[in-house]
Structure 1
Amino acid sequence: MSENNKQILEQKLWDIANTLRGRINADEYRNYILGFIFFKYLSEKQHLYANTLLVDEGVKEYTNITDVETLEAIKEESLAQLGFYLAPEQLLEALIKRGANSYIIEELEQTLNYIEQSTMGTESEEDFIGLFQDVDLASTKLGKTPDKRNEVIVEILTKLNEIDFRLEDIESDVLGDAYEYLIKQFAAGAGKSAGEFYTPQEVSTILAKIVTLGKDKIRSVYDPTCGSGSLLLRVAKQTKVADFYGQELNPTTYNLARMNMILHNVHYSRFNIEQDDTLEEPRHKDQRFEAIVANPPFSANWKGDANPLNASDVRFNQFGKLAPKTKADFAFLQHMYYQLADNGTVASVFPHGVLFRGAAEGVIREYFIKELNAIDAIIGLPANIFYGTSIPTCIVVLKKCRKADDNIVFIDASGEGNFIKEGTQNKLRDEDIQRIVDAYANRQEIAKYCRIATLAEIAENDYNLNIPRYVDTFEEEEAIDVNQVTERLKAINTELSEVDRKLASFCDELQIPTPF
């Protein structure tokens, strides 16, 4: 599909989303629109797959099948290969035909529930259970009466049914990209909550490029605060990924992440997304990952020393201190380091406070540098590039087995010329992203941009990693020409003398005293 056709698809989907704009807030209509798009995707996927199974049977169309044995065989194959099953009468197009003249909300609700129920007892159960729990078809926000709600739902599904997702084009990831586009659009209008489910694509790309540097394939990628899963999927655009892992606290966002993985053609056997508090209830603690990317909630609260188990937790106990209860940033960093494989890389976004705050955080930071020698790079990003917050942020890069083990790379990409303004946001261009990645990869000093600081120098600075201590971005003012200033002052004095003369003459004419 051409770039133009991709943009047309994105616009069509956004136009459908606007069907609900103004009726309910962005957080809620996002759930309906993305849920319905996902249902259409599953419907088309099932239809296309069933038709391929029927080729050898001399039958071309799944919707014409009524034979119970044939349907049961298709169900068995579908559950094994797709991870779910839809009968012919449950496909979107069949529901739309009936919805033109009848009330379909109950039938649609039963179909969405059936998708989840069809996976019970199969390998894909965890990946499909509860996926549609945020699509509340009985909500009065869709319409005050059942008939009004039915009218809105039929309108949305009819418009969706008119779009060809072109799922037969196996080389295309256009639908997944369009889904990401919608998630981005919803994030732009979601205010502070946007950071819970979406990391700007430009930042995701930097993280993905760093953790895949020099690798044409990786065994696993993990995100402990995975949101919509966009960071995990961005890594797959940089290199081949065998398996995807993530954990997300928010149940709505957790559902969105699983939908996003499936829509990007990641087979259910290749991803494991869990829902729970990563710091208190880590679901992948026994596993180690080759690449870890994350955008944890900035300076979030956590239980810290209020949970006595944290002091003895192997993720935290070697550092001597626990992260403050009001700032979980280092707790997330410690968690990621623990989950990292020896040949792996962590790249995660944090507020700048992790670089210089003292007390317990200072102790943890010193241990990371002095005892573990794990911090490989600090990258300062421009302010106002994240949805919902304008604060400047930084990327912290960790490795367990560093080649350049006597220094840390500092990059300051926050200055003018390293980004552009786009509306109310700052945005990194492709060349800005590549400059950051190249500076990190090459480890060469660039005036006012990149500095390679030795561990000895960092120790002298009491393990403070504040970027201005290492990257001097000061711009000298133009040298002052004293002779030019003297001549200008003389000219000003001459002009003032002339003004005084004219004023005195004017006062004489009026026969009034001069004011000086």
Structure 2
Amino acid sequence: MNSTINQDSINKALWAACDTFRGTISADTYKDYILTMLFLKYISDVWQDHYEGYKAEYGDEPELIDEMMKNERFVLPQSASFYTLYEQRHEPGNGERIDQALHAIEEANGTKLKDAGKSVFQDISFNTDRLGEEKQKNIILRHLLEDFAKPDLNLKPSRVGTLDVIGNAYEYLIKNFAASGGQKAGEFYTPPEVSELLAELLSPKPGESICDPACGSGSLLMKCGRKVVEHHGSKEYALYGQEAIGSTWSLAKMNMFLHGEDNHKIEWGDTIRNPKLLDQNGDLMLFDVVTANPPFSLDKWGHDEAENDRFSRFRRGIPPKTRGDYAFVLHMIETLKPGSGRMGVVVPHGVLFRGASEGRIRQKLIEENLLEAVIGLPEKLFYGTGIPAAILMFRKNKSDNSVLFIDASREFKSGKNQNQLTQENIDKIVSVFRAGRSEDKYSHLASLDEIKANDFNLNIPRYVDTFEEEEEIDLMAVRAERLKLKAELAELEQEMEGYLKELGYVAD
């Protein structure tokens, strides 16, 4: 099977593999088993594909091929290959063998799968009593190995192409678990087309540093990096991220590993309470590009510690105790480089108009001339929430004091449960943003005075008038149509009465 595979086929095969665990452990737990096995299968297929390529080129020369394989981007010990585990699947000890394979991969690849001593696989064990007693566990894991050996999960590079297998699968599984009530707090992922939009709006350049302080599986970060390759033919960029959920941090590390993103630093921890991306002086690192899709209106975000924040991130005001949106915005603002720093963040619409402390923070950010654009997105773009979101664009060292408002809420491809931005929708937003132009019923370039006159309320309808006048009704034409219908109805009733008389239902 060397035909190109599509993500939909991979997703269906993974969802079928989930049946192996259903009824034994909860969805939010077996997601991690499925994705870890996907990682192991993917690197095994890449390794085997390259090995077979050398074998076709040099013949059956194991020692020569082993030497050639030492030049690969990663190391896969033979005992740790998915195919070795698959061959032994009928023997006792599947859980122990899989754990040993993961450990061997980690050890063989040095720092690529570790960060500050934390192991990517330390939060997952296949040799656990959570999967039942030894006999049951062995059977479940045999089924899992057999699921991943099916043709639909043949992940050779020639079949996968440029697909972000781990990131896309993670998003697919989160979406399905969210739909079935298995969603974990905070795991709203960024749909690929929204990542594409953010990356285009931010337009990263060679030599720049890119940071996502709520990076999830790392897909948005990698999308930004790929824009440097796509537009400039360069891989000179550095990716930085932080993720609060341990298992999701592991996925981000695996994702970077799979895509050869070796120039990265992904930290595990709470960005607001304990930012880990610090310079040698212990201050917040500064970046050229900062982007994120933080959890919407996060409760218990760290309000009590904010007043004594040693980084002074909340000097413009402390966000409300139960809504952490501005906590992330303020953190991101503080990490922008003074000259080149620019930022794009996804927020719920309440951030645009809510009052009290949020209103005061918003006013200060506008008065400091940091806000560049407000972009309204369609509803139902994000799984786990149907509410429409907006993108706020900020920039240090702005050349003017205006703010561009774009209402892109009505332009999307409608789906059964979710809406999608098309490439055409994305291109239009990016074009209008780069030109900074007003367009009837779509965008408006507002002056600082205009925003001030609106009490620093950024609600998009205040600036972009999308009102469509109703077509004028010709009352005489309506009256004529009504009289015509009335005459037709009278004629039909007379005809019906004649039929009823013939049938004897009406007396003469």
1:398: how far off? 0.4
Instruction: Find the counterpart in structure 1 of residue 387 from structure 2.
Output: 391
Give the direction of change, closer, same or farther, for the CA distance of 1:193–1:48 in structure 2 (3 Å limit): same
Q: 1:109 aligns with which of 69, 79, 99?
A: 99
Instruction: Find the counterpart in structure 1 of residue 421 from structure 2.
Output: 428
Instruction: Find the counterpart in structure 1 of residue 302 from structure 2.
Output: 303
SS of residue paired to 2:298: coil
Bigger CA drift: 423-432 or 488-497? 488-497
Partners of 1:354 and 1:365 lie apart in 2 by 8
Partners of 1:2 and 1:216 lie apart in 2 by 35
Partners of 1:46 and 1:174 lie apart in 2 by 15
Note the 1:307-346 alignment, pairs <5 A: 307-310=306-309, 313-317=311-315, 319=316, 321-341=317-337, 342-346=339-343
Instruction: Find the counterpart in structure 1 of residue 281 from structure 2.
Output: none
Partners of 2:34 and 2:143 lie apart in 1 by 12
Contact 2:113 2:254 in 1 (8 A): no
Partners of 1:442 and 1:448 lie apart in 2 by 16
Partners of 2:481 and 2:51 lie apart in 1 by 87
SS of residue paired to 1:115: helix
Q: 2:133 aligns with which of 145, 157, 162?
A: 145
Partners of 2:17 and 2:56 lie apart in 1 by 34
TM-score, L = length of structure 2? 0.81
1:471: how far off? 0.5
Contact 2:99 2:127 in 1 (8 A): no
C-alpha distance after superposition, 1:68-90 (max 9, x if no partner): xx9xx99xx68xx756x553333
SS of residue paired to 1:30: helix
C-alpha distance after superposition, 1:231-278 (max 9, x if no partner): 1112133223521110011111111111111122212xx111101111
Partners of 2:38 and 2:431 lie apart in 1 by 38
Instruction: Find the counterpart in structure 2 of residue 202 from structure 1.
Output: 193
Give the direction of change, closer, same or farther, for the CA distance of 1:384–1:195 in structure 2 (3 Å limit): farther
1:153: how far off? 1.6
Count residues in correspondence. 471
Q: 2:174 aligns with which of 184, 187, 195?
A: 187
Structure 1 gaps of 5+ residues are 499-516
Contact 2:288 2:336 in 1 (8 A): yes
Instruction: Find the counterpart in structure 1 of residue 498 from structure 2.
Output: none
Partners of 2:221 and 2:126 lie apart in 1 by 30
Contact 1:27 1:190 in 2 (8 A): yes
Supply the AA of the counterpart residue of 2:199.
Answer: A
SS of residue paired to 1:464: coil
Partners of 1:392 and 1:87 lie apart in 2 by 47
Q: Does 1:230 align with 2:222?
A: no
C-alpha distance after superposition, 1:33-67 (max 9, x if no partner): 110121233445666788999999998337998xx
Among all aligned residue pairs of Structure 1 and Structure 2, give the percentage whose two residues are the same amino acid. Answer: 36
1:140: how far off? 5.1
Bigger CA drift: 432-441 or 477-486? 477-486
C-alpha distance after superposition, 1:411-431 (max 9, x if no partner): 11112xx11221111221221
Partners of 1:23 and 1:430 lie apart in 2 by 42
Give the direction of change, closer, same or farther, for the CA distance of 1:61–1:127 in structure 2 (3 Å limit): farther
Partners of 2:154 and 2:429 lie apart in 1 by 39
Contact 1:116 1:129 in 2 (8 A): no
Partners of 2:53 and 2:488 lie apart in 1 by 92
Q: 1:459 aligns with which of 452, 458, 461?
A: 452
SS of residue paired to 1:346: strand
C-alpha distance after superposition, 1:469-492 (max 9, x if no partner): 000111112223354466678889
SS of residue paired to 2:340: strand
Give the direction of change, closer, same or farther, for the CA distance of 1:300–1:173 in structure 2 (3 Å limit): same
Q: 2:246 aligns with which of 251, 259, 265?
A: 251
Instruction: Find the counterpart in structure 2 of residue 367 from structure 1.
Output: 364
Partners of 1:41 and 1:477 lie apart in 2 by 56
Q: Could you say what the CA RMSD is over the residues aligned between the two structures, in angstroms?
A: 3.7
TM-score, L = length of structure 1? 0.80
C-alpha distance after superposition, 1:277-311 (max 9, x if no partner): 1111111243221221100111113222544412x
SS of residue paired to 1:245: strand
Partners of 1:264 and 1:127 lie apart in 2 by 21
Contact 1:6 1:178 in 2 (8 A): yes
C-alpha distance after superposition, 1:356-404 (max 9, x if no partner): 1111111111111112x0110000011111110111110000000223x
Partners of 2:490 and 2:146 lie apart in 1 by 83
Contact 1:378 1:411 in 2 (8 A): yes
Give the direction of change, closer, same or farther, for the CA distance of 1:315–1:296 in structure 2 (3 Å limit): same
Q: 1:474 aligns with which of 464, 467, 480?
A: 467
